[in-house]
Structure 1
Amino acid sequence: MSETPEVVVVGIRMETAQIRSFELARHNGEMLPSWEPGAHVDLHLPSGTVRQYSLCSDPADLRRYRIAVLDVDGGRGGSREAHRALEVGDRVRVSAPRNHFPLHSAPEYLLIAGGIGITPILPMARSLAAGTAAVRLVYVGRSRPSMAFIDELTALGVDTRIVTDDVDGRLDLSALDIGSAAVYACGPVGLLDALAERVPSQSLHVERFTAEPAARDAHRGSDIFEVELAQSGLVLVVQPGVSVLQAIRSAGVDVPSSCEMGICGTCETKVLSGDIDHYDDLLTEAERASGATMMICVSRSRGPRLTLDR
């Protein structure tokens, strides 16, 4: 299976005034790579722009993938291109699914989605609805017309609470009965930060669509260090205000990337030696401690040199 298989846009649906879903399938009808709830794919748009979107279809149906795209005013242009340029019949490429937001076994779950954050949560709810664990879902948004997939959630039979700003006001997290539930959340940074203050870290699993401030500001570091590229034999000097990714590309070495905020995993690179200063929002503490890989779009070096498997 190609890492970026070509697929055809076989369906487009306006889920809300600002959210459009796209169904993608192989042109020859072959099955797509398997995936688990929480997974996302890189969508290669016609302009060459690459963006990550959570899979929100049924993992049991590999004939098609479905993604949903929020048209973001003032964004980086990917959502706008998807909404205005993609049409049924267009051929695009997607990466194999990757999952940095996996659903782990637990006796009880509390799923929390904010706005377009429903996209990875929906397959989780669908999967859990078929099991025996207790499941509750809280879905927050500005208004019901702005919230996608409410009818699908209702059909699952999961204990679902819809909270809208225009009717209910802001969600009162202090009133949530979290108890011993495993909490899975995706949504705006304010919601996720508030949950992090209230929910024990071992119980909270989140996926962010924007990086935390530390990761966003990592490229502003004042340190200077060297990066050795083991495969090419190059040794580069990474200057303050320049990311490792930028330095490598400036040397003429092609490196895949997408979000460039430390949240997608596209640029994850094997580290052969060196002390990494991690700023991503993906690796676990154990993975960071191992020093095996780094997200070169945001993470840097604590020491004078890193050696990368590039």
Structure 2
Amino acid sequence: MSYFEIAESDIGPLNDKVTIITGASSGIGLATAQLFLSKGAIVYGADLQAPIATISDPKFSFTSLDVTSWPDLCALFQKAHAEQGRIDVLFANAGIYSREDYLSVRQGTDGQLEEPSKLTFQVNLSALANQVALAAHYMTTQQTPRGGCITLTASSTSYQRFDAPDYVASKHGVIGLMRGTSVHAKNNNLPLRINAVAPSWTRTGLVTVSQMQFENLGIISQPPEAVARSVALLASDETRSCQCIYSRGGEYVEVEEPMHATMLKQFRFTGLAEEDEREQVIDLIFGSGKELEVQ
């Protein structure tokens, strides 16, 4: 794998692309909204709080919502589709940091052990899955143009060991969601491109140190605008599907395809080498009614 840069010229036009961005009030979401607007997109931003920066572009609208609320998400997607007649791009980005280590539990005032909070999973994974479901519904049922691009915010920790159990598990789950939905879309001829971005240390509201403090710690960091460029590239380059762009210090590498190729070469999870054959086996085992062709 070799790192590459993303120049302005590498990002194709996004003119009038109807785009939904969650977690749009700050950090990566806000930077992505601003970049998409500069490329001519129509952006529907959503978050719990209003944007920390004023966006006066007439192509931008903001909705206050809780991404863990299915009715709130439904209202957002319904609004965008009703006003524009289509949804072209979803950037499912809203996320929070770790809340539980799952190796300790608290005792409540009643003396009983309290169940650990699932909020990190609900925001980082369950809410993303719901956003994917809604985007897929509108993108595959709308007439012109049918289909669209869905990008999920994963993390460098999606591929790493890191001391934040619920956060890491949720971000690993994001990659699983991308993989599973991408294969399902392909097998069912759905015109959807589902990708992810995996930022390394990024100076957003999730972290509490400045660029200088990062440098003093010897850690390479990047501004949210660097991640926004990877999101825009995935949205504008229609050849990219089931990819994950990792970014570090403003440099990028696509990690999913080479990793997938390596895993296929090293392991035979179902005992069959070819992906098409594996799908037939899975269908047969789980009772799809399809017959396995033996040659």
| Greater RCO, CA 8 A, separation 6+ | 2
* TM-score, shorter chain, exceeding 0.5: no
Give the number of the structure whose residues are more often helix, by fraction: 2
Give the number of the structure whose residues are more often strand, by fraction: 1
The normalised TM-score by structure 1 is 0.33
